[in-house]
Amino acid sequence: MAIQQMPHNLEAEAALLGCLIMDEYVQTEILETLNEEDFYQESHRILLDAMKKVVGGRKAVDVVTLADQLEHDGNLQRAGGLQAISELSASIPSTANYKQYYDIVKRDSVNRALIRAAKSIVETCQSGPEEQDAVSFAEKLIYDVSKKGERSRLAGLGDGVVIQEIIKKFEEIQSDPNAFRGVETGFTHLDRITNGLQKSDLIVLAARPGMGKTSLAMNIVEHACLDKGLTAAVFSLEMPKVQIGQRLLFSHGEVSMERGLSGRLTAKDWKNLLVAADKAQRSKIYIDDSSRITPAEVLSKCRRLAASEGGLDLVMIDYIQLMGSDQKYGRGELNRQQEVASITRDLKLMAKELDVPVIALSQLRRIESKEPQLSDLRESGAIEQDADIVMFINRPDVTASKEEIAQGKVVKGAAELIIAKHRNGPLGRIQLRFIGETTRFIDVDDQNRPDEEPTYRKKPQDDDPPAGDGDIPFE
């Protein structure tokens, strides 16, 4: 049986290269969107590489400059010689059809990439990997091919399309303030400041151990799914799904977990718990408690969930420092910081691709003498850099002495949610109350003071350490 050649069209490749040599407009229009793997013939790949080098040297591409660059690289003969280059431009009477040549070349390039990906998938599956590993590998290869086909370009404002889109958006908001409201959190003042959690935003919720960051994040998931009927994916790297579900039921039912664990539930408690259980069973909350999961695996699972459910509204990850990275780094704290930086960057890209808000929890360094600030983010200043919103939970009663609570210096259960970074809106402080027995945060109806910008923020000084410096080693 004859061996089938990979898809290619040498005439279209030669015609496209000829158009690039002949027309400077065609060069500026498509040269940067082409890659060497888009061309099947080796000499054509060499010519494209040389063209990019000529343009990179701020020179016009023509037969002379191209031949000079190839001669300099020692590739003139591999590209077919001066005669072959001259024939490319001479054989094209007009560059008017360059788009058709471009589409043919790109089509064959994608088909070749898909064939290579399919062969790799077959070889991997024949080696007998675990089911999830095989599926993730296949999805990543196909996804990488699809991303290569995406092309964007600088868009001018002169055509009015972008401007009109912006004006239309704010006209809609003027007539309906909730027109572009994101996922509501259930906390009135937080929703007012953020207008709901917005699509494609990475929201980092950070706190020191024992402050209730998992509880607050699950309260948001609970409101979104059990009250609003949305779909959420929860990735719990620290807590098994049974414990997550347990917290969800007792919180939504407003039942004391202490009474439940000690077998002292009342008839009313049982009624509330069963109502909460029924709502949870009918909800669209999906929980994954895999340990050391990577952003690529999270993305893969979320893609499948969105496809099967017809959409996805919210992702919650508990928490960043327990995630693994698809990149390989050596040992040591510095390398762990690089790994966390890679993770947060991938989470932001994931939020953008899925077009949903992603809530990622993060640990803070153990410093008990002051309320949290951005420099306390553990292991990487990249967390602050990549996040659209950074929120801290501050609960003075956790570190207060019994005497301070007894004297009324610290109110038991009083909590503060500090919005320390908000890329598209104001900063602020939000007064909450933590109900420990039901692991639930609630709004404080009569706030002692209005939401305000955090007072601890200051302009960075020259001698300030960069965010993340001095972090304790990852545990």
Tell me the two tokens of residue 138.
């296949």
SS (H, E, C) the chain: CCCCCCCCCHHHHHHHHHHHHHCHHHHHHHHHHCCHHHCCCHHHHHHHHHHHHHHHCCCCCCHHHHHHHHHHHCCCCCCCHHHHHHHHHHCCCCCCCHHHHHHHHHHHHHHHHHHHHHHHHHHHHHCCCCHHHHHHHHHHHHHHHHHHCCCCCCCCCCCCHHHHHHHHHHHHHHHCCCCCCCECCCCHHHHHHHCCECCCCEEEEEECCCCCHHHHHHHHHHHHHHHCCCEEEEEECCCCHHHHHHHHHHHHCCCCHHHHHCCCCCHHHHHHHHHHHHHHHHCEEEEECCCCCCHHHHHHHHHHHHHHHCCCCEEEEECHHHCCCCCCCCCCHHHHHHHHHHHHHHHHHHHHHHCCCEEEEEEECCCCCCCCCHHHECCCCHHHHHCCEEEEEECHHHHCCHHHHHCCCCCCCEEEEEEEEECCCCCEEEEEEEEHHHCEEEECCCCCCCCCCCCCCCCCCCCCCCCCCCCCCCC
Q: Which amino acid is at 455?
A: T
Tell me the two tokens of residue 246.
């347990």
The two beta strands, 414-422 and 389-394, are antiparallel
Give the integer Cα–Cα distance in Å for 91 and 199: 50
Tell me the catalytic residues.
Answer: 238
